[in-house]
């Protein structure tokens, strides 16, 4: 688990590489989809944190130009994130958008707390970082990606990451957004889109000292740090800015945050029945 490579982000605590043991567990073959989350909402009447707040963060090129001009930018260092009024899992790009034609896509605009609520309803839980990384590797040891060590052809056919020059110039014919949850081939464990497409929440609190603070058997960072761990990167990842679509890469956000590029998948303890 982890990496000693210098291509990673030292501030994220991607290393050192170490041997870790995880007990038997099952992981969803895909991220939770819009259709699955809709079933949960219909059964429980759950209101997501984005819906309660009345807005959520959307990447600026996903937003209609007229809405883009009317929405304030978040911060100078990340001007591509817009807090769009009305954006939520049902309206991924805000007013005028809908997930109804994307029922097989990963659900987005989901906070860590929303993911926890779904898991409680489904009799599941979020995976730990160690479980996620074990699953993402697909049986390959020490490789950068779920399919091997080379990105291959800019990632096309392997994972949904940014194509073109980030953040202003997408490649011709490519637009930022999700692909269906099973659009690309699975890894060696039969899991789709373990990297790219959408970030996935994990059970752990995030710490850059994760590899030094947690045990080698079923590690989980339970010390509260203010941010929850995320894994896998998203369609916004690019080598020039955020090459966190590697299996050892790590991310984090506050547990009440929701964005247009973050979802989750579920886990269960014990062997697959």
Q: Exposed, middle or buried by CB within 10 Å (0-12, 13-18, 19+), for 118?
A: buried
- The angle formed by the CA atoms of residues 6, 9 and 10, to the nearest 5 degrees, is 80
How far lies 139's CA from each of 11, 109, 148, 187, 235, in Å?
27, 31, 10, 9, 24
How far lies 115's CA from each of 14, 25, 94, 126, in Å?
24, 18, 20, 8
Q: Assess contact for 144 and 233: CB atoms under 8 A.
A: no
Q: Is the pLDDT of residue 155 over 60?
A: no
**pLDDT tens-digit map of 76-101:** 788 899 999 999 999 999 999 999 99
Specify the DSSP class assigned to residue 267. Answer: E
What does the block give as tokens for 41? 């909402």
> What percent of the chain shows pLDDT beyond 90?
86
- The angle formed by the CA atoms of residues 212, 218 and 223, to the nearest 5 degrees, is 55
Q: Which of 33-37, 104-108, 140-144, 148-152 has the lowest mean pLDDT?
A: 148-152
Name the residue ranges covered by the structural domains of the chain: 10-47+104-267
pLDDT of residue 273: 60
Q: Is the pLDDT of residue 269 over 60?
A: yes
Q: Assess contact for 110 and 90: CB atoms under 8 A.
A: no
Q: Please identify, in words, the CATH class of the domain defined by 10-47+104-267.
A: alpha beta
**pLDDT tens-digit map of 55-71:** 999 999 999 888 887 78
pLDDT of residue 156: 56
Its pTM stands at 0.96
What does the block give as tokens for 227? 């941010």
Q: Is the pLDDT of residue 108 over 90?
A: yes
Helix (H) or strand (E) holding 112: helix 112-122
**Most confidently modeled of 1-15, 90-104, 146-160?**
90-104
Q: Is the pLDDT of residue 272 over 90?
A: no
The CB-side HSE value for 265 (13 A sphere, CA atoms) comes to 28
Mean pLDDT of 213-237: 98
pLDDT of residue 9: 87
Q: Which of 26-40, 61-75, 169-183 has the lowest mean pLDDT?
A: 61-75
Q: Tell which wins on pLDDT, 7 or 29.
A: 29
- Beta partners for residue 26, in sequence order: 268
Q: Which of 105-109, 146-150, 249-253 has the lowest mean pLDDT?
A: 146-150
């Amino acid at each position: 688990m982890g990496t000693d490579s210098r291509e990673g982000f030292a501030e994220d605590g991607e290393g050192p590489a170490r041997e870790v043991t995880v007990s038997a567990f099952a992981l969803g073959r895909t991220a939770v989809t819009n259709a699955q989350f809709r079933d949960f909402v219909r059964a429980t009447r759950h209101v997501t944190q984005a819906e309660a707040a009345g807005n959520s963060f959307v990447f600026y090129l996903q937003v209609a130009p007229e809405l883009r001009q009317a929405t304030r930018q978040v911060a100078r260092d990340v001007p591509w994130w817009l807090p769009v009024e009305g954006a939520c899992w049902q309206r991924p790009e805000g007013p005028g958008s809908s997930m109804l034609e994307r029922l097989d896509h990963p659900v987005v605009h989901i906070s860590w707390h929303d993911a926890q609520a779904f898991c409680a309803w489904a009799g599941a839980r979020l995976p730990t970082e160690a479980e996620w990384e074990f699953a993402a590797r697909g049986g390959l040891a020490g490789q950068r990606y779920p399919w091997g060590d080379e990105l291959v052809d800019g990632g096309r056919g392997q994972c949904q990451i940014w194509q073109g020059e980030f953040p202003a110039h997408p490649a011709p014919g490519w637009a930022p957004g999700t692909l269906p949850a099973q659009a690309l081939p699975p890894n060696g464990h039969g899991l789709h889109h373990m990297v790219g497409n959408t970030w996935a929440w994990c059970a752990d609190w995030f710490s850059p000292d994760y590899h030094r603070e947690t045990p080698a058997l079923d590690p989980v960072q339970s010390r509260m740090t203010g941010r929850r761990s995320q894994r896998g990167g998203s369609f916004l990842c690019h080598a020039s800015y955020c090459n966190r679509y590697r299996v050892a890469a790590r991310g984090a956000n506050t547990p009440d945050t929701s964005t247009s590029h973050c979802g989750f998948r579920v886990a269960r303890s014990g062997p697959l029945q």
